Amino acid sequence: MTPPGEPAAISAELLRLWGVFFVLALLVALFLRRERRRTARTVGLLGAGVLLRLAAGLLAGASMPVAARAVGFVALVLEGMAWVELGAIYVFSVLLGAFRIATPRILRDLGVALSYVGLLLFLFSRHQVDVSGIVATSAVVTAVVGFSLQDVLVNVMAGIAVELDDSIRPGDWVRVGDQTGKVREIGWRQTTLETRNGDSLVVPNQYFMKNPVFLQGRRSDEPKRERRWLSFGVDYRTTPERVLAVVGEALLRTPIANVAAEPAPQVLLMGFEESWARYAVRYWLTDLLADDVTDSVVRERVFFALRREGIPLSMPAQELFLQPDDAEHRDRHREREASASLRAVESVSIFQSLTPAERARVAEGLVRVPFAPGEAIVVQGRAVHHLYVLTAGKVEVRVTVEGAPERAIATIEAPDFFGEMGMLTGETRRATVVALTEVECWRLTKERFREVVEARPQIAEEVSHVLATRDVNLAAAREGLSEEARRLRFAEQHRSLTDRIREFFGVE
């Protein structure tokens, strides 16, 4: 048996112990990628201990017993540290990781540090070192070091306090001064934040003890989300009721990514300025990293909603716009709009049977309505008596069946029309139509079209002929109908549509 204070010989048992260590380290390196760097350091510690053990043997053979004992003691310390580190990996990463128990870094480091202290005390006792003298001496050294490193110690104690009271956790979004970031790690001395710009912000732990810290989106027993406010202004020519209704309907028409459905987005009148009313959209953001992107989409919805309803955003009061407002200028503007609406009427097949005078009359009732990508133009299940003429862009037709997710069934590109059944027969919308690109539509209401139908009731039969032809052609392409089947279905469709249109408009 090796006497205390002498370096142990390299025995077969010791070699087996080293072999077990390297096998355990290799398993960690193979299956725990995130622990490879720590495992490499652990293997390095053991390797250094082995080399020092060999050096101690050489020194003993050279009749240098004091140096051999000192080097051998250091070798034991390094080997013990390696086993402590490897044990920490298996306890905190393997064992607790298998049960999905996340442990703070400070707790892990504290456990390792206490194990180091126990290792040193054990080795001191084995080598017959007076531990009480070391403790007495270390108390003086600790006092001196503590006084000189008091800021470091304050940060360490603050880090422990933060971990114990669980006030700040990894993954939280916090605001420190004018900087906002996501907590990546809480260490002994500092907490590391990742900002939205991809930077890392290192904050001393004592900051959290001495200053108020804003935790974004964190509430008790609630999912993590943040309430956002987006302001916009509209001049006083438009009533608040109309602005709130138009913008609110646009925000709820179709879901917006990263915007919570419940509580739903709201539009509020926030105040009155010198020449305009100040409004705000308030919504809950579910992904705190996507704040600017989501704000942009919401602002886009607001912009297009106001624009298609002819509601201008406010302009700075100090800016002066001079625009001719004489009769000639107004006439030119009306002519341009009338020409554009007439082109829209002439571009689609549903109005081909109308006379030029009737098409011009229909064109007078068209209202230009733009839509942003992703907005729903018509919504399935709603009873709205509008027809839309698509003059620019592309839309997608989607159908929802109870118990199944929404699915796309068709794509419509300009020039074309949709929503005709709601205007002509009053039936509820059979599908939702969503803009795939920036879209320009012209909207025609039942009341406007009634004037034309009442003047010449035969229009009901002519329009139903166009619609029946379109429906039968689609059915033939989808179902492979024979000529006889097509003829029979057309006759039935034509008769049914004509009767429904006449009944809806009250004409014979």
**CATH number of the structural domain spanning residue 180:** 2.30.30
Lowest mean pLDDT among 152-166, 251-265, 358-372, 383-397: 152-166
Does one domain contain both 187 and 272? no
**pLDDT greater at residue 49 or residue 395:** 395
Q: Residue 188 phi/psi, 5° resolution? A: -65, -45
Within a domain: 140? no
- The reply to whether 318 falls in a domain is no
Residue 455 has what pLDDT? 86
Boundary-marking domain end, from 216, 250, 275: 216
Query: For 160-171, what is the mean pLDDT?
Result: 74
424 located within any domain? yes
Q: Please choose, from the candidates 253, 254, 232, 230, the residue with its C-alpha nearest in 3D space to the C-alpha of residue 243.
A: 232
Q: Confidence band (pLDDT; 50, 70, 90) for 196? A: confident
Name residue 266's beta-bridge partners: 282
Give, in order, the Cα–Cα distances in Å from 210 to each of 146, 177, 283. Answer: 20, 13, 32
Q: What is the pLDDT, as a whole number, of residue 434?
A: 94
Compute the average pLDDT of residues 339-347.
Answer: 92
pTM of the model: 0.58
**Percent of the chain residues topping a pLDDT of 70:** 88
**Residue 54: is it exposed, middle or buried by C-beta count within 10 angstroms (0-12/13-18/19+)?**
middle
Mean pLDDT of the region 129-154: 55
Give the range among 54-68, 79-93, 334-348 with minimum mean pLDDT.
54-68
pLDDT score for 452: 87
* Among candidate residues 216, 251, 284, the one where a domain is terminated: 216
Are residues 364 and 288 part of one domain? no
What is the per-residue pLDDT for 1? 40
Q: Is 39 a residue whose pLDDT tops 50? A: yes
Q: Which residues of 391-429 are buried (b: 16+ CB within 10 A; e: fewer)?
A: bebbbebbeeeeeeeeeeeeebebebbbbbbbbbbbeeb
**Does residue 7 form part of some domain?**
no
| Contact between residue 201 and residue 265 where contact means Cβ atoms under 8 Å apart | no
Indicate if the pLDDT at residue 57 is higher than 50: yes
195 pLDDT more than 80: yes
Residue 104: φ, ψ to 5°: -60, 150
Among 94, 129, 164, residue at a domain's last position: 129
Which DSSP category does 34 fall into?
G
Report pLDDT digits (tens) over 256-280: 999 999 899 999 999 998 889 999 9
Are residues 477 and 371 located together in one domain of the fold? yes
255/291 same-domain check: yes
Beginning with the edge strand found earlier in the chain, give each strand of the sheet holding 266-272 in spatial order.
Answer: 226-235, 276-285, 266-272
Specify the pLDDT at position 180.
Answer: 87
Percentage of the chain with pLDDT > 90? 26
- Average per-residue pLDDT in the chain? 83
In a domain, 411, yes or no: yes
Structural domain contains residue 166:
no
Q: Does 340 share its domain with 480? A: yes
Per-residue confidence (pLDDT) for residue 2, from 0 to 100: 47
Domain of 245 in residue numbering reads as 226-309
Strand order in the sheet with 432-435: 376-378, 432-435, 394-399, 407-413
Task: Give the CATH number, domain containing residue 345.
Answer: 2.60.120.10
443 and 340 fall within a common domain: yes
**388-441 pLDDT tens trace:** 999 999 999 999 888 888 888 889 999 999 988 888 888 888 889 999 988 999
Q: Say if residues 399 and 409 touch (Cβ distance below 8 Å).
A: yes
- More confident: 124 or 20: 20
Q: What is the pLDDT of residue 366?
A: 92
In the numeric block, the tokens 């030119």 are attached to 332
Let me know: does 494 contact 502? Beta carbons within 8 Å: no
User: Could you tell me which residues are beta bridge partners of residue 281?
Assistant: 230, 267
Q: How many domains does the chain have?
A: 4
Q: Are 334 and 305 within one domain?
A: no
Please indicate, yes or no, whether residues 481 and 352 belong to a single structural domain of this protein: yes
- Please tell me the least confidently modeled range out of 15-19, 143-147, 320-324, 467-471: 143-147
Q: Are 373 and 474 in a shared domain?
A: yes
Residues 231, 212 within the same domain: no
Query: Is 141 domain-assigned?
Result: no
Mean pLDDT (whole number) for 226-247: 92
| Average pLDDT of the residues in 136-165 | 59
- The tokens describing 120, both together, are 């040193």
pLDDT for residue 70: 85
**SS3 of the chain: helix, strand, coil, percent, to 5:** 55, 20, 30
Q: Is the pLDDT of residue 155 over 70?
A: no
pLDDT at res. 390:
94
Evaluate whether residue 161 is within a structural domain.
no
**Distance, C-alpha 374 to centroid of its chain:** 17
Cα 462 to Cα 453: distance, rounded to the nearest angstrom = 11
247 & 346 share domain:
no
Predicted confidence band at 60 (pLDDT cuts at 50, 70, 90)? confident
Whether 187 and 105 have beta carbons less than 8 Å apart is answered as yes
Q: Measured between alpha carbons, how far apart are the two ends of the chain, in Å?
A: 118
What are the b/e assignments for 287-312, b being 16+ CB within 10 Å? ebebbeebbebbebbbbbbbbbbebe
**pLDDT, average across residues 96-118:** 77
CATH number for position 303 = 3.30.70.100
For CA atoms 135, 137, 143, 146, the dihedral sign is negative
**75-89 burial, b if ≥16 CB within 10 A, otherwise e?**
bbbbbbbbbbbbebb
Q: Which residues contact 430 (CB under 8 A, 6 or more apart)?
A: 380, 399, 421
In which band, very low, low, confident or very high, does the pLDDT at 184 lie, cut at 50, 70 and 90?
A: confident
DSSP string, 57-122: HHHHHTT-HHHHHHHHHHHHHHHHHHHHHHHHIIIIIIIHHHTT----HHHHHHHHHHHHHHHHHH
* Pairing of the two strands 276-285 and 266-272: antiparallel
Least confident of 7-11, 77-81, 400-404, 428-432: 7-11
Q: What is the pLDDT of residue 232?
A: 95
232 and 201 assigned to the same domain: no
More confident residue, 147 or 211: 211
